[in-house]
Copies of this chain bind each other. A is one copy, B any other.
C-alpha cells in the first residue's frame, strides 16, 4: 500500500477544474476510500454533520455508517481506536477537529502510534492518518489557533504534512492514507475556502519531497502551509523591485526534504524560513540548523527565521494580524537579507 501514484502532469485543457482546499481534501479522502475498503473515518461529528469544517461532507451518504463513524468527545480513545484498528490491518482516518486538542491525546499519537512498530520489533505497521485543522486567523484565540508541527516532527515514527493549497491538500491526503505509517495532516483553517487547480483523478504527492513553487535566484524562501501563499505574494511584490525569490514548499515536514533546500541555497546564498508557529523551537530552527550545517560556505547571510512571537495566539483581530507572519514581513525579511553583504 505504499506505492504512490505520481501526480499527473497538469496539461492545459480547455477549462482546468478549480476546487477549494476543503473540497480537494474531501475528494482525495473519498477516492482513497473507494480505492481501499479498509479506509474508514472516525471523529466527532464527521459522519452525520460532515465535520465542523465540512471536511467530510457527503461521505456518510456514499460510504454509510460502517465507514463513517461519529464518536463521543474522547480524543484519546479516538486515536487509540485508530491505533488498534491500524494494528489489525485497517487504514483509519481519525479527525481531531482542532489541532489544539492534541494535548488530550498526545500519548496515543506519540507513545503508541509512533513507537509501536519500533518497540514491537517491526511486528506490525500503524497505517493511521490523523486529520486536524490548524492555524490562526479566525479570531479563535489561544486554544483553537495553534500550529504545533514542531512537536510532531520531533517524534520518530510519525510523519507530518502541511498542505499549502487545494492541489496539495488532495494529493498529500491520498499519500497519507496510502502510507503505512502514522501521518498527521495539518489542514490550515484559513485556506479551507481557497481554490486552485485540482485534477479529478486520484493522485498522491510523495511525502518528503519538497516542491519549488517559484524559481528565483536572489533569496530562497522556505514556507510552511499557509505561508507558501504569503511567500508567493511577497515574491510578486519583490519581483516588481527586480528581486527574484525562490519559494520552496516542503509539503511534508517529517520527513523533510532538505536536499531541495540545500540545492536552492547553493544558488541563492540567502534563505528565509517562515511559518505560523512560534519562532522559538519551531520547524524553522531545525531547517536553519540543517542549512547552516550543510551549506555553511554558501551562505552570504545567516538563515533568517520568521514566525510568531513568543506568546499564545491573541484573540483580537488587530493583535492576531500582527501576530501571524504575512507577505509584508516576508518581503521585509528578504530585503534585509539582501542588504547584508
Chain A interface residues toward B at CB < 8 A = 76, 100-104, 106-111, 114-115, 118-119, 141-143, 150-151, 153-157, 254, 256, 277-278, 280-286, 288-289, 292-294, 296, 299, 301-305, 310-312, 314-315
A64–B108 CA distance with the chains assembled, in angstroms? 36
Give the top 6 A-B pairs by smallest Cβ distance, nearest first: A103-B107, A154-B281, A288-B289, A103-B106, A285-B285, A296-B302
Task: Across the interface, name the chain B residue whose C-beta is closest to A340.
Answer: B296
Q: How far is the CB of A272 from chain B (nearest CB, A)?
A: 11
Report B-chain residues with C-beta under 8 Å of the C-beta of A311: 118, 156-157
Task: Across the interface, name the chain B residue whose C-beta is closest to A282.
Answer: B154
Report B-chain residues with C-beta under 8 Å of the C-beta of A109: 103
Instruction: Indicate whether A302 sits within 8 Å of B292 (C-beta atoms), given known contacts A76-B104, A103-B106, A154-B282.
Output: yes
Q: Are A302 and B312 in contact (CB under 8 A)?
A: no
Q: Are A292 and B303 in contact (CB under 8 A)?
A: yes
Report B-chain residues with C-beta under 8 Å of the C-beta of A110: 103
Interface centre among A154, A157, A311 (most CB of B within 10 A): A154
A142–B104 CA distance with the chains assembled, in angstroms? 20
A293–B288 CA distance with the chains assembled, in angstroms? 9
Task: Across the interface, name the chain B residue whose C-beta is closest to A118.
Answer: B312
A299–B289 CA distance with the chains assembled, in angstroms? 13
23 A-B contacts (beta carbon < 8 Å): A76-B104, A103-B108, A103-B110, A103-B111, A104-B106, A106-B106, A111-B143, A115-B312, A119-B141, A119-B142, A119-B143, A150-B151, A151-B154, A155-B278, A156-B310, A281-B281, A281-B285, A285-B289, A289-B289, A292-B303, A293-B302, A293-B305, A296-B301
